[in-house]
Amino acid sequence: MHTKTITALAQGLRDREFSSVELTQHFLARIHQYSELNAYITITEEAALSAAAHADTLLATGNAPTLAGIPIGQKDIFCTLGVKTSCGSKMLDNFIAPYNATVVEKLNQTGAVMLGKLNMDEFAMGSSNENSYYGAAKNPWDIARVSGGSSGGSAVAVAAGLAAAATGTDTGGSIRQPAAFCGITGLKPTYGRVSRFGMIAYASSLDQGGPMTHNAEDAAILLQAMAGFDDKDSTSVNHPIPDYQATLNDSLKGLKIGLPKEFFGEGLSANIATDLHNATQEFQRLGAELIEISMPTLTLAIPAYYVIASAECSSNLSRFDGVRFGYRCENPVDLADLYTRSRGEAFGKEVKRRILMGTYALSAGYYDAYYLKAQKIRRLISEDFKKALAQVDIIMSPVTPTNAFGIGEKTADPVQMYLEDLYTIAINLAGLPAMSIPAGLSAEQEGAPMLPVGLQLIGNYFAEAQLLNVAHQYQQVTDWHQRKPADFQ
């Protein structure tokens, strides 16, 4: 049952092939069986079985939503009423959320069953899930390798069959990069499409929640439940929500696909370049037209992103001070000692690094030189995308420059780690929707394990339906999304 899509599971529940309680018990058993993957921080077994029993009652009426009774995982960045919400940090290891995030509330209303809270890089800062206070979530394709970050636990849960689907968040690639590393489908919607209320903030102008699933059809179902205007979120956009499943089967004949030459040159592994070339040829066979485009400002995305994101995180994380909630040091001698030791003892190395970078960039004398200049570059990048998407319908690119790398391989060099987000960051700066879909299995060198390769689809604002259509059509003629890691089938 764990290899089935949401669509197949929903049909099985409607046809009474199995109950939601049986399905939930199956997934819970797998979570315990494969605990070495470290996908979950908190398992809500009792609550999940209760929710499943309620879903079975709803399903018996014959009028239940598609997600009713479907077991899913929530990234531990979303507040969940009465359940620990740690954000992967020692700072919030004892924090029990007093309310539900809007995303959690929306999915609860569909009758979806939450299995637990999924592992992540601390406060969503990282590209490998190695920054989690609870240890790294391990890639099921090779447990010696990273799962990607920050939504690594979500990607592992879906890839290894520890949840039918999962939620993730994406600030600079944190849905798409782990989706690529673990061989699943991950969608980052347009900024403002999914409510950020109850989603613990890293960088407020960049963070966006989205679905992580087996395929594009499942992503459409999950996004349908997650999307929508929320008056509790000042960054939420009141824009019509289409039926994301309605256009999945539209033809790609005449579709114009842009290939930015800046993303297919130096720095991209040869094996990934080969797999992506094969994928683009498949789109040609489906009737699409490939057009080379140039977007010269994309090379400036990484420095601009790390200035802006770090500045926003230094502001957002100032609330974690040992006074109101979260970790508090023992026996502080005064208020300054309370602040200093609570933050020093509870924040991890990467979080401290980004807070310091952001505070420096915002400090007197450096604001204009760094933060203001980064915001100007952000505008140029947005204009580049605007010009490109006036010529083509969607843009295709790599998701990552390499396959999943070894645990511990890049932790000593933060700059090398930051370069893992080379192809994803610019999309967040522009606020555009993008997704990663499986597009191959390959090894970087002879004797290395075969690992998933992700293809990135980038669309215009609120064009999630088009991205899902393009991804779905590709998945009708390929089977990369159906490949499962051998040890976790």
pLDDT per position as a tens digit, 203-251 = 999 999 999 999 999 999 999 999 999 999 999 999 999 999 999 999 9
Burial 361-388 (b: 16+ CB within 10 A, else e): bbeeeeeeebbebbeebbeebbebbeeb
The helix/strand/coil state of 83 is strand
Q: How many CB atoms lie within 10 A of CB 445?
A: 8
The helix/strand/coil state of 484 is coil
Mean pLDDT taken over the chain: 96
Say what the pLDDT of residue 271 is: 95
Report the amino acid identity of residue 53: A
Domain ranges of the chain: 6-254+392-488
Phi, psi of 21, deg, nearest 5: -65, -45
* Continuous segment of H or E residues that includes residue 389: helix 373-391
For residue 108, count CB atoms less than 10 angstroms from its CB and return exposed for 0-12, middle for 13-18, buried for 19 or more. middle
The helix/strand/coil state of 289 is strand
Say what the pLDDT of residue 309 is: 96
Q: Which residue has the tokens 């005064």?
A: 334
Of 164, 168, 150, residue with least CA distance to 112: 164
- List CB contacts of 387: < 8 A, sequence separation 6 or more: none
The whole model's pTM is what? 0.96
As averages over each run of 10 residues, the pLDDT of the chain (489 residues) reads 96 96 98 98 98 97 95 98 98 97 98 98 96 98 96 98 98 98 98 98 97 98 98 97 98 98 91 96 98 94 96 95 93 95 97 96 90 96 97 97 95 87 96 98 88 98 98 98 93
322, 342 contact by CB (below 8 A): yes
How are beta strands 208-213 and 256-260 bridged, if at all?
unpaired
Which CATH architecture group holds 6-254+392-488?
A: Alpha-Beta Complex (3.90)
Of 317, 324, 315, 309, residue with least CA distance to 344: 317
**Residues annotated as part of the active site:** 75, 150, 174
Burial 391-421 (b: 16+ CB within 10 A, else e): ebbbbbbbbbbbbbbebebbbeeeeebbbbb
Burial 308-331 (b: 16+ CB within 10 A, else e): bbbbbbbbbbeebbbeebbbbbee
Residue percentage of the chain with pLDDT more than 70: 100
pLDDT in tens, 32-76: 999 999 999 999 999 999 999 999 999 999 999 999 999 999 999
Of 85, 86, 89, residue with least CA distance to 97: 85
225, 110 contact by CB (below 8 A): yes
Which residues of 171-215 form beta strands (DSSP E)?
185-188, 208-213
Q: Which residue has the tokens 């599971």?
A: 9
Whole-angstrom Cα distance, residue 26 to residue 156?
A: 17
Report the amino acid identity of residue 195: S
